[in-house]
Amino acid sequence: MVGSLLLRKKLMYRSWHRGCKETDILLGYFASKYLNTFSLYELIEYEKIVDLDDHELYCYITNKKDLPSNLDERIFSLIVSLRVQD
């Protein structure tokens, strides 16, 4: 429980503070919407996505590159389908 709480906080911070404003907004809103509902397994899978370089992440989102098999397709689909609102 404590481990998942710490991981959740770490991922929330990393989602909002990536260095690229567009990625901050996309992953930050995603994290705010979904992280509190994720299991420990899902948090670990999301961390793999957060670990990606911004350019690499952009290529996967825009389908310029195929999503690698080590990334969770369901979580990635949630990110891609997210509608960020003001």
CATH number of residue 54's parent domain: 1.10.150.250
Identify whether the C-beta of residue 30 lies closer than 8 Å to the C-beta of residue 12: no
Q: What pLDDT is stored for residue 67 in this prediction?
A: 96
Residue 22 CA to residue 39 CA, distance in Å, equals 26
Q: Looking at the domain assignment, is residue 86 inside a domain?
A: no
Residue 33 CA to residue 28 CA, distance in Å, equals 9
User: What residue type is assigned to position 58 of the chain?
Assistant: Y
Q: What pLDDT is stored for residue 1 in this prediction?
A: 61
Find the domain containing 11 and state its range. 2-81
Q: Which residues contact 60 (CB under 8 A, 6 or more apart)?
A: 52, 66, 67, 71, 76
Q: What pLDDT is stored for residue 83 in this prediction?
A: 82
What residues in the chain have per-residue pLDDT under 50?
86
Q: Looking at the domain assignment, is residue 30 inside a domain?
A: yes
pLDDT, tens digit (0-9, with 9 covering 90-100), for 48-71: 999 999 999 999 999 999 999 999
Count of domains observed in the chain: 1
Q: Looking at the domain assignment, is residue 41 inside a domain?
A: yes
Residue 54 CA to residue 9 CA, distance in Å, equals 20
Q: Looking at the domain assignment, is residue 29 inside a domain?
A: yes
Q: What pLDDT is stored for residue 73 in this prediction?
A: 97
SS3 71: coil
